[in-house]
Amino acid sequence: MKTEDNRLHYFGKLSEQLFVWEGPESSLAFDSEGMSRVLLNLDQPCFAVRKEGHIGLTNEGKLQAATPSAAGALSLLAYSQPLTPEMLGDDAFCRFHGSSYAYYAGSMAHGISSESLVTALGRKGYLASFGAGGITQVALEGAVQRIQKDLPHGPYAFNLIHNPFAENLERMAAETYLKFGVQTVEASAFMDLTPYVVYYRVAGLSLNPENGIEIGNRVIAKVSRREVATKFMEPAPDKILTLLREQNLITEAQARMAKKVPVADDITVEADSGGHTDNRPLVSLLPSMLALRNEIQEKQGYQQQIRVGAAGGIGTPESVLAAFMMGAAYVVTGSVNQSCLEAGTSDHVRKLLPQVGMADVCMAPAFDMFEMGGKLQVVKRGTLFPMRAKKLNDLYLAYTSIDEIPAAERDKLEKQVFQRSLDSVWDETMAYFRERDPEQINKALVNPRKKMALIFRWYLGLTSHWANSGETGREMDYQVWCGPSMGAFNDWVRGSYLEIPEKRRVTDVAHHLMTGAAYLYRLQQLKLQQLRFPNHFSRYRPTSRSLPG
C-alpha cells in the first residue's frame, strides 16, 4: 500500500544561499500536526528550516543573512510574516466603518439579516447590514433603536433598498435612518440615483475645523452593473441637489460639498449571488469595476479613495482570498449567513440549507419585478417553488387574462399552487393593495393582464414569508433565496462542526472564512518561495477549538 508523503519539499535555491535561521531547534516541528499548528499561529512569523536533510517549521527564532560568521546555522528555506485575518483587505474600510475586519454580512430582506445577526457580528467587530427590505416602518424603527442600544459604537448598517413600484417605502426608510442617526446604509437594487439616497448622503455632510469634508452618513452601494456603479462613484447630480435645495432638505453648503465627494464611499460588486442577481462571475466583474473606480477616482481626485468590495459566490476561504488577491477592499457574504442560527428564518429552512449543493439553486420569477421579467436565485432542492413560479410566468406570457386560461389549467392552479380559488386570491389581493397601494387595483380593474399579474404575485410574494415563518403544510412552496456559495460552503465544512445546522453561528462562519483565507495566504507565500506541501495542508478545516474568546 502506498503511504502519503507527509514531508515538505523544497525546490528553490536562492533563499538557502542568502539566509540562515537562528533559534531553538527544539521548536522545529517535523510532523504533520506540529507543522499545521505552526502554520495556524497566524499572529506569529513562520520559518521553514532544513535540518539534517528534513524540513521543519517553527514560529520562533529569527532570520539572518548567510554571512561566513553564520556558518553552522540552519538554512532558512522560506519565511512568512505574521498574517492575521485583520490584515486582509483594505484597513481604510475598517477604520471608516469602525470594524476589525474587511468583511461584512449583506442585508437579507424581511429581517432574515435579523437584529441578532447584526448585533452578534457587531460585537465581534464585523459589520452587518439589517435586512430592512419588506418590513413595516414600525418594525424598522424598533430594529434601529434596539440595534443602536446593543451596539452604541457600531459597527452596524441598515439596508436602503430601492423599489421601483413603491417609492414611499424607500423614502420612509431614508427618513427613518436620518431621524435616528443611522450612519451607515447598504444601498441596493438601484438602477439610477433617487432623491432619497442622495438626501440621506448629502444631509450628513459637514465641514470640520480644518475645512475638510466630514462624511456623517456613509453609503455602501451594492451594484452589479457599470452604469449604476458610475452613478454612485460620481458626485450627486445637480438636478437632484437642486430639488433637495428647493425642498429645504439640505443646505447650500451641503449642496456645494456634495460636488466634491462620491455618492458612495464603498461599492460592493455583486456577482452570482442569492436573491436578485445578474449571475455574472466575480472573476470577470470585479476587475472591470476596479478599472472603472480607478478611472473615476483619477478624474474626480477625491480626497478619500472609493473602495470596491466583492459579493456573490463567497462561501469558502479560497473565494475570500481570491477576492482579496484580485484587489477587493473587503468581502461580503449573504447566502451562508441565512443558514445560521441568528438568521430570521424558519428551522425548516435552516435544516434545508446545509443540504444544498452547488447545483441545487436556479433562477425563478421575482415577486417584485414579475411583470418586467425579473428573476432571482433560489433553492430548488426540497421545494417545488421554482417549478410552480415558472408555470405562473409561462401562463402570464401565454394569456392576456385569467379568464383566457383553459379550465383544466386553472383547476390545476387552484388545487396545486394556490390551494384556493383564484376568486378568493383576487379578493385578498384587493384587500392587501387597498391598504398599501390602491393605484395597483385601479390599474388592474381596467387591465385584465395586470389583474393576472397581481394574482400571480400573491403566490410569489407569500411563498418567501412562508419559508421565513415555517408555514406548516406549505413546505413544498417555500421560496428560499440562495446562491451557489451555499453549496461551496457546505462542501467546505463537511465533516466539521459547522456541518451541523444547530452549530452554525454567523460569527463562527465569518471567523473561519477570514482565518482560513489568511492561512491559505500564508501557504501561498511559502509556495512562492518554492516550498511544496502535501495536499492535506491546502485545506483549512474549521474547528470550534480555534475560535477566539
The footprint of ligand FMN (CB under 6 A) covers: 106-109, 112, 131, 133, 159, 161, 186, 188, 222, 270, 273-275, 311-314, 332-335, 338, 481-483, 485
User: Quick one: 504 or 522, whose CB is closer to ligand FMN?
Assistant: 504
Q: What is the DSSP letter of 372?
A: G
Least distance to ligand FMN from the beta carbon of 522, Å? 25
User: Quick one: 512 or 522, whose CB is closer to ligand FMN?
Assistant: 512
Least distance to ligand FMN from the beta carbon of 102, Å? 15
Q: Let me know how long the chain is.
A: 549
Least distance to ligand FMN from the beta carbon of 170, Å? 12
Least distance to ligand FMN from the beta carbon of 343, Å? 8
Is 224:278 a contact under the CB 8 Å cutoff?
Answer: yes
Least distance to ligand FMN from the beta carbon of 6, Å? 35
Least distance to ligand FMN from the beta carbon of 185, Å? 10
Rg (CA), the chain: 27
**Alpha-carbon distance 415 to 135, whole Å?**
30
User: Quick one: 49 or 221, whose CB is closer to ligand FMN?
Assistant: 221
Report the Cα 541 to chain-centroid distance in Å. Answer: 22
**Closest listed residue to residue 267, CA positions, set 93, 510, 481, 514:** 93
What is the rounded (10 degree) CA torsion for 407, 411, 417, 423? 80
**Alpha-carbon distance 546 to 511, whole Å?**
9
User: Quick one: 97 or 451, whose CB is closer to ligand FMN?
Assistant: 97
Number of helices followed by number of strands (H, E) in the chain: 21, 20
Nearest residue to ligand FMN by CB is 334
Q: What is the DSSP letter of 203?
A: T
Least distance to ligand FMN from the beta carbon of 381, Å? 15
Q: 456: which 3 cell numbers? A: 400571480
Q: 304: which 3 cell numbers? A: 478619500
Q: 390: which 3 cell numbers? A: 415558472
User: Quick one: 48 or 378, whose CB is closer to ligand FMN?
Assistant: 378
Residue matched to cell numbers 528555506: 77
User: Quick one: 205 or 366, whose CB is closer to ligand FMN?
Assistant: 366
Neighbouring CB atoms inside 10 A of 431's CB total: 10
Least distance to ligand FMN from the beta carbon of 269, Å? 10
Q: Which amino acid is at 25?
A: E
Least distance to ligand FMN from the beta carbon of 377, Å? 8
Is 509:336 a contact under the CB 8 Å cutoff?
Answer: yes
Report helix, strand or coil for 213.
strand
**Alpha-carbon distance 397 to 402, whole Å?**
12
**Alpha-carbon distance 61 to 381, whole Å?**
53
User: Quick one: 107 or 194, whose CB is closer to ligand FMN?
Assistant: 107
User: Quick one: 271 or 452, whose CB is closer to ligand FMN?
Assistant: 271
**Alpha-carbon distance 207 to 437, whole Å?**
41
Least distance to ligand FMN from the beta carbon of 478, Å? 12
User: Quick one: 213 or 369, whose CB is closer to ligand FMN?
Assistant: 369
User: Quick one: 492 or 537, whose CB is closer to ligand FMN?
Assistant: 492
Least distance to ligand FMN from the beta carbon of 159, Å? 5
User: Quick one: 45 or 313, whose CB is closer to ligand FMN?
Assistant: 313
**Alpha-carbon distance 519 to 528, whole Å?**
14
Beta carbons within 8 Å of 548's beta carbon, 6+ residues apart? 511
Least distance to ligand FMN from the beta carbon of 361, Å? 9
**Alpha-carbon distance 368 to 401, whole Å?**
20
Least distance to ligand FMN from the beta carbon of 112, Å? 5
Q: What is the DSSP letter of 126?
A: -
Question: Which CA distances in Å does 378 have to 273, 356, 365, 490, 544?
Answer: 10, 11, 10, 16, 30
Q: 305: which 3 cell numbers? A: 479613495
Q: 457: which 3 cell numbers? A: 404575485
Least distance to ligand FMN from the beta carbon of 489, Å? 9
User: Quick one: 48 or 360, whose CB is closer to ligand FMN?
Assistant: 360
User: Quick one: 85 or 131, whose CB is closer to ligand FMN?
Assistant: 131
**Alpha-carbon distance 376 to 412, whole Å?**
25
User: Quick one: 99 or 107, whose CB is closer to ligand FMN?
Assistant: 107
> Phi first, then psi: what are they for 147, rounded to 5°?
-65, -40
Helices (H), 14-56: 14-18, 32-40
Neighbouring CB atoms inside 10 A of 156's CB total: 27
